[in-house]
Amino acid sequence: MANLTLVQAINLALIQEMEDDDRVIILGEDVGPNGGVFRVTEGLHQRFGSDRVVDTPLAESGIIGSAIGLAMAGLRPIPEIQFEGFLGPAFDQICTHAARMRTRTRGALTVPLTIRVPVGGGIHAPELHSDSPESFYAHQPGLKVVMPASPYDAKGLLISAIRDPDPVIYFEPKRIYRAFREEVPEDEYTIPIGKARVVSEGDDITIVSWGASVVQCMKAIEASDRSIELIDLRTIYPLDIETIEASVKKTGRVVVVHEAPLTAGFGAEIAARVMEHCFLYLEAPVQRVTGFDTIMPYYKLELEYLPEAERIATAIDHVAAY
Amino acid sequence: MPLKKAFTTTIDNVSILDEHGSFDAKLGAPGGKPIIPDDDLVKLYEHMCLCRKYDEVAFKLQRSGRMGTYPENRGQEATSLGAAYALNGDDWLVPCYRENAGLFWRGLPLEFVLLHWMGDERGNAIPEGMCITPLAIPIGTQMLHATGLAWASKYRNEKRLACTFFGDGATSEGDFHEAANFAANLDIPVIFFCQNNGWAISVPTKIQCSAPTIAQRGIAYGMDSIQCDGNDIFAVVYCMKEAAKRARENNRPTFIEAVTYRLGDHTTADDARRYRDAKEVEKWNNRDPMIRLRNYLVQRKLWDDAKQEAAVARAKEAVTAAVKRAEEIASPKTADIFNSMYAELPDDLVIQRETMMTHSLGQHPEELPPTSTQQRTHQQA
């Protein structure tokens, strides 16, 4: 057991999976000797060599498209896209090929691929380094989309993603890369994809969130004297509606929190599912605390945009008072 | 002071058996040993007869409403066939959608391509070990998969390569650039095989590329590049053998521009008369890869009218049987929409498959209202 940051937990998972399975290779921009711009792949190039930790040309579609070929040939590639803002050029390869290959070949060819992508705002980064595009990919059938919010989950979810026989987008909330440490077992373990985590139990209100927002939710809950249940989704798709349903049937009041814009954000899906599953249990309309339907601002205003603890606290009061 | 030359290059053009029947023995039979032995040559020609018949029948199937949109391959048989012939059975073939001849030579069952165009995914369920990726509908994106497949072979030190096919228009796509750049810079054994057939639907090659050759695009990535007469199977095989050697020995990619012509429309949904000059088509009809090869075989006394008749009869029989297999395959099950989405189907999709409904009142089948007759008929075991 070691006290690790989220970055260190990911690094440890990568090392262990690469040691266990020589089909696992890493490719991307600056992932080699530099260890990635966030140092997630630090030490891996020295440890595993340039055949397994590959600095590629600077081209996101190329990284994902060639990783699809590597995966179809039976390897377990882990491409890194440096920031979520640069996932756009790879959107075509992800949605047009990775997501479809299994079904369009009726299982003859598959794409066991884990796409690692730092995501979200809050680190005073330049333009296009702070977005939250998870719902684009949750909307694409054939993919799995995960986003851990703690070092422990980061390791277990990444191991699950690498071992998963289908393409997984593994979003890494960069705001909490080093925000706190947590005990992370040395041994390998998995966190199942598609299972949410109840972070804290409560009876009055359910908050559903994921990624760095979970930490903001925890702050809001700490500051509140209400009994609040916090669910960290961990996996965006496939959605663990059962955990949400069980909680909402108990509390009757729901707040969904995410950094991505409001309209057609994944919170909309959760609100709809809550209505379908828990209609007669609801005491108040589902509240969403999200980014605005604007372009993510440059960093001087990013905390005004992000759903910080204060805004979450207001939503808690609103939903409680309804 | 004159400027120094930073770099100069030339692009070779390979032609061995030209449209007038002239055969370059130096390239085509170095040391008296033909690069395609006579027995193989006859088989390749017969295979072209099969593919030409296949095209004709597929076209009619579409016109008579028995199949959806279909892209004719007519006139381009020598390109993918020569490529597949020159490779090993475990080299990857990464096609776009006008490579029937090469895919069938490798062993893809004839009905697969029909099934694909009949709207049935089973046409993409490539038999294991055949080392073919399914037809790629988006333009140029499959080149990156070839780069990845070949990269995996290199990683495992298998000495296998990948050959990807695409048209002149696809070299305008960004993914061509990325695939070529990755392959060249990372030493990946890929063959980029461009079928320059003159047209991307209605847009002529000059709008895709204003340089004198498309082949020189490969030079820009630092890879060996060559142009050949794509209607000359000897020239195609010559270039492929060189490229395969380079890939296997040094993990180096090659760009091959095979100049050919799409004798038919882009697809059955297209009418090329709207944008092409009949004289141009006529000129290329005379350059048909099958005409020159047949003449050559006849001249070499390897072929005659009786053999032609027998080959056409065999082709007809094989294609008829393939059509029968494609048309008589059991209907897909509605559940098949879901069954191959993931290795393990998420709960949500299990419910959608079981109920064939996306609206829900709890999403639990046992809690749903009684289904209507129509919904019931859609349910699948």
B160 burial level (CB within 10 Å; 0-12, 13-18, 19+): buried
- How large is the average pLDDT for residues A137-144? 98
A76-80 β-sheet, strand order:
A53-55, A24-28, A76-80, A114-119, A168-173, A144-146, A235-237
Tokens of B277: 């000059």
Instruction: Identify the structural domains of chain A with CATH numbers, from first to last.
Output: 2-184 (3.40.50.970), 197-321 (3.40.50.920)
Residues B32/B23, Cβ–Cβ less than 8 Å: no
Report angle CA B188, A96, A89 to the nearest 5 degrees. 70
Strand ranges (DSSP E) for chain A? Answer: 2-4, 24-28, 53-55, 76-80, 114-119, 144-146, 168-173, 182-184, 197-200, 205-209, 228-232, 235-237, 254-261, 287-291
Half-sphere exposure of A96 (CA within 13 A, CB side): 20
Q: Is the pLDDT of residue B145 over 50?
A: yes
pLDDT in tens, B212-232: 999 999 999 999 999 999 999
Q: Which residues in chain B touch residue A141, judged by CB atoms under 8 angstroms apart?
A: 341
- B139: distance to nearest CA of chain A, Å? 11
Domains and CATH numbers, chain B: 13-328 (3.40.50.970), 336-378 (no CATH)
Per residue in B9-67, pLDDT tens?
999 999 999 999 999 999 999 999 999 999 999 999 999 999 999 999 999 999 999 99
Residues of B in contact with A237 (CB under 8 A): 346
Portion of chain B with pLDDT greater than 90, in percent = 92
Say yes or no: A3 contacts chain B, CB-CB below 8 A. Answer: no
Closest by CA to A18, choosing from A45, A36, A55, is A45
Q: Is the pLDDT reported for residue B356 higher than 70?
A: yes
Residues 39-98 of B with CB under 8 A from A: 92
- The residue of chain B with its CA nearest to that of A241 is B348
What integer pLDDT is reported at residue B365 of this predicted model? 58
ipTM over 0.85: yes
Predicted confidence (pLDDT) at residue A259 exceeds the cutoff of 80:
yes
> What is the SS3 string spanning chain B?
CCCCCCCCCCCCEECCECCCCCECHHHHCHHHCCCCCHHHHHHHHHHHHHHHHHHHHHHHHHHCCCCCCCCCCCCCHHHHHHHHHHCCCCCEEECCCCCHHHHHHHCCCHHHHHHHHCCCHHHHCCCCCCCECCCCCCCCCHHHHHHHHHHHHHHCCCCCCEEEEEECHHHHCHHHHHHHHHHHHCCCCEEEEEEECCEECCEEHHHHCCCCCCHHHHHHCCCEEEEEECCCHHHHHHHHHHHHHHHHHHCCCEEEEEECCCCCCCCCCCCHHHCCCHHHHHHHHCCCHHHHHHHHHHHCCCCCHHHHHHHHHHHHHHHHHHHHHHHHCCCCCCCHHHHCCCCCCCHHHHHHHHHCCCCCCCCCHHHCCCCCHHHHHHCCC
Nearest to B363 among A104, A107, A277 (CB): A277
pLDDT of residue B376: 39
Over residues A191-195, the mean pLDDT reads: 98
Whether residue A106 and residue B121 make contact (CB cut-off 8 A), yes or no, is yes
Q: Give the pLDDT of residue B369.
A: 54
Q: Which residue has tokens 């730092």?
A: A118
For chain A, say whether B133 makes contact (Cβ under 8 Å): yes
Beta bridge partners of A172: A118
Give A145-184 pLDDT, tens digit per residue: 999 999 999 999 999 999 999 999 999 999 999 999 999 9
Residue B363: predicted pLDDT = 55
| pLDDT > 90: percent of chain A | 100
Looking at the partner chain, which of B124, B174, B343 has a beta carbon nearest the beta carbon of A108? B124
Q: In chain A, what are the helix, strand and coil shares in percent, each to the nearest 5?
A: 40, 20, 40
pLDDT of residue B357: 86
Catalytic residue among B116, B246, B266, B292: B266
Per-residue confidence (pLDDT) for residue B207, from 0 to 100: 95
pLDDT > 70: percent of chain B: 94
Q: Looking at the predicted structure, is the pLDDT value of residue A242 above 80? A: yes
Q: CB-based contact (8 Å) between A199 and chain B?
A: no
Measure A81 CA to nearest chain B CA, in Å.
Answer: 15
